[in-house]
Chains A and B, each alone.
Chain A
Amino acid sequence: MFQRKTGLKIAGLGLIFLITVPLSARTPSGLTETIDGPHPVVSRQALQPLLARHATLKKKLSQFTPAGHYIVVDTAHNRLHVRQGKDIVLTAVASTGSGTILEKPDQPGSQWVFDTPRGGFSIQSRLTNPVWVKPDWAFLEEGMNVPSNPAERVEQGILGDYALGFGKGYFIHGTLYPRLLGKNVTHGCIRLSDDDLKTVYKLAKVGTPLMIF
């Protein structure tokens, strides 16, 4: 009887150990192996090499910041910001990619994906009174045949007064549907209102960095 009770107690303690050890084995928030807890008092002189290194590294990092204007696009919230240094010069409501897909009829298993590309880019072209040369998907999406005559692809007045190209056929341009600004509705390009587009066109030059997240 004594051995049975003792055995049960030991088993119970073991069970508690198995339950609590994994729960308490976490590294609590804010505690680290090297930073938290009391530290020995160190003179500022002793810290000088580290401080100097810190200043050097920060300076190196700051050198990547564009000297002039740069553009930041937030695709989640459909906002375009023109910045200079840490200052925001302009915030514009935009429309970015819908994320939808369209199957390519002549290539089974292949599809167009209408995302606004993410990453670091730069303005590669600045156009006034741009003309839209409709790609194949623009016809297929409407259930139309793709024309063989190139002239039938051209549409004017669709892209607004200006367009800023940033590579692979993607542009920042105007829109005929200002009510849809602020929504993810485009085929990958970035749309702005007429007024904002004019301001961005004036501020952005060829080579102006563009960061899209």
Chain B
Amino acid sequence: MLFLLLIGLYTGLFPSLVLSRETAHRPTMDAAALIEANRLLEEELTLAGRPQIYMVLDLTAHIILIKSRGIELHRLPITAWHQVRKGSLNGVFRLRARPSVSRPKAAAPAENTAPAAIELQHMPERYDLAFDPGLMISVGQTVRERPWPWVKSLVHEWWNHVAGLLGIVVKTEDWATIKIHLTVSPDTARSLAWTMTDGMPLIIGRTVLARD
């Protein structure tokens, strides 16, 4: 029995550990990739025509692009990702909730010293981003970087799934919500937290076409 349990845990746990070693696919020109790339471009065109900052999450290329007017302003690498609850990732999502940061009170400026301020280092490294309609992106680190929080998130996911199977109402989870977990470095997590603003549009693609 213990042997079967260990086999089951191996099957369940090791794929997630292997995720961090997967590399992006090589570019290909097949029909499916082109259809996906064209879909993403059409969605981006709806955003690029307005004076705004938007985000492109390319899951196959393992990259987050911060863009405006079709121009790449900044890119953040993703170590790995997995989709906990499936659903369509097409369309434009808009940020509804992001991690809050306490703001210090302004003080009289002094000539040679910097006053208290919100800086990149104050941004969280693990958090959830809620988008409309119905998307949750959780951001965190690898097992090696944060072993205990990773285990906690794993147990949390397992419990939510089991609760759903058993019909137990889980107060904090909306079962209609698609959920994606992004594994990123602490620096990337902080940069992403800094960049996100209320209502920021997001489009998600899984294109393997080579980028310019």
| Chain A residues near B (Cβ < 8 Å) | 9, 12-13, 15-30, 32, 34-36, 39, 42, 44, 46-47, 50-51, 53-54, 57-58, 60-62, 64-66, 70, 72, 74-77, 83, 98-103, 112-114, 118-122, 137, 141-143, 177, 179-180, 183-185, 187, 209, 211-213
Contacts and interface: CB of A to CB of B under 8 A. Distances in A.
Contact of B48 (A64, A113, A119, A141): A64
B73 interface: yes
Interface in B54-95: 59-60, 62, 66, 68-71, 73-74, 80-84, 86
B24 to A, nearest CB: 7
B72 to A, nearest CB: 9
In the complex, which of the residues B8, B9, B42, B105 has the most CB atoms of chain A within 10 Å of its own CB atom? B8
Nearest to B31: A42
Given A185-B114, A185-B117, A213-B53, A12 B4 contact: yes
A76 B29 CA distance: 37
Interface in B1-46: 1, 4-5, 8-9, 11-13, 15-16, 18-19, 22, 24-25, 28-38, 41-42, 44-45
Given A22-B12, A120-B50, 20 more contacts: A20-B8, A26-B83, A28-B15, A30-B60, A34-B32, A34-B36, A35-B207, A35-B208, A47-B34, A54-B41, A57-B41, A58-B41, A60-B45, A64-B49, A99-B104, A99-B118, A101-B103, A113-B103, A120-B68, A213-B74
Contacts of B52: 119-120
5 contacts: A12-B5, A16-B4, A22-B161, A100-B104, A101-B104
A124 B142 CA distance: 45
A29 B33 contact: no
Given A54-B37, A65-B71, A99-B103, A19 B12 contact: yes
A61 B45 CA distance: 6
B8 A16 contact: yes
Nearest to B55: A213
A160 to B, nearest CB: 16
A54 B39 CA distance: 9
A67 to B, nearest CB: 12
Closest A-B pairs by Cβ, 3 of them: A120-B51, A23-B12, A22-B161
Contact of B19 (A28, A44, A64): A28
Contacts of A101: 103-106
B69 A120 contact: yes
A76 B120 contact: yes
Interface stretch (B129-137, B168-176, B191-199): B191-199
B120 to A, nearest CB: 5
Contacts of A60: 45
Contact of A26 (B82, B109, B114, B115): B82
A25 to B, nearest CB: 7
B84 A26 contact: yes
Contact of B44 (A25, A61, A212): A61
B120 A77 contact: yes
A18 B162 contact: yes
B34 A51 contact: yes
Contact of A177 (B16, B101, B111): B111
A211 B160 CA distance: 41
A57 B161 contact: no
A114 B105 CA distance: 10
Nearest to B183: A29
Nearest to B159: A22
Contacts of A13: 4
A120 B66 CA distance: 13
A64 B53 CA distance: 13
Contacts of B86: 27
Contact of B82 (A28, A62, A72, A141): A28
A183 B39 CA distance: 40
